[in-house]
Amino acid sequence: MSDNSEFLKILSGKLSGAKIVPTPPGEPSAMVEKDSIHEALDHLKYDRDLSFNMLVDLFAVDYMGEEPRFEIVYILRSTKHNGRIVVKTRTGDEGLDTVSDLWPAANFLEREIYDMFGLPFANHPDLRRIYTPDDFVGHPLRKEFPLEGEDFDKPFVVDLEKE
């Protein structure tokens, strides 16, 4: 899909209810309501004219102070048409539906978002922490997470007699 305007036209016709926005490098970007994100991504993957068969990346952004607070970003690639698209949605602490049924690579990425931001993904096959221990309190990439730990104001003392 070398002609971006033609691609944007096809995309706008296929994704009703999505706001399609051209981005500076010329690749399209779509903002989709969270209730229809799975349906939109399913359509982007399986529609013959689009064929976004590869999930390149999936990540979250914390916009503390805004509602809904979190933005989930999906970067997709069509190997058939040599095209890319960025699909975004906004959600609160309630999270989203999983897309690991569409792209198995989403399994790891959704677990990472769950661990770092605390956002659950409904119907995920194995939603558990991936980096931090199970008894870890908090989610390190949330803006309110303390940067220096909860006891940063206490002096660090090493007991040399124990060693």
- 17 assigned to some structural domain: yes
Residue 158 within a domain: no
pLDDT of residue 83: 87
- Quote the Cα angle for 65-69-72, to 5°: 145
- pLDDT for residue 14: 77
Tokens of 103: 């792209």
Q: What average pLDDT does range 101-125 have in this prediction? A: 97
Question: Is 101 within a domain?
Answer: yes
Q: Residue 21 above 90 pLDDT? A: no
Whole-number pLDDT of residue 151: 59
How many domains, the chain? 1
Q: What is the pTM of this model?
A: 0.84
What one-character DSSP code corresponds to residue 155? P
Question: What pLDDT is stored for residue 115 in this prediction?
Answer: 97
Assess whether pLDDT exceeds 70 at residue 118. Answer: yes
Mean pLDDT of the chain: 86
What local confidence, expressed as pLDDT, does residue 1 receive?
45
What is d(CA 81, CA 52) in angstroms, rounded to the nearest whole number? 8
Q: What is the CATH number of the domain that holds 51?
A: 3.30.460.80
> What mean pLDDT comes out for the span 75-88?
91
Residues 6+ apart with CB under 8 A from 63: 69, 70, 71
Residue 58 reports pLDDT greater than 50:
yes
CB 86 within 8 A of CB 61: no
Domain limits for position 21: 4-122
pLDDT the model gives residue 81: 86
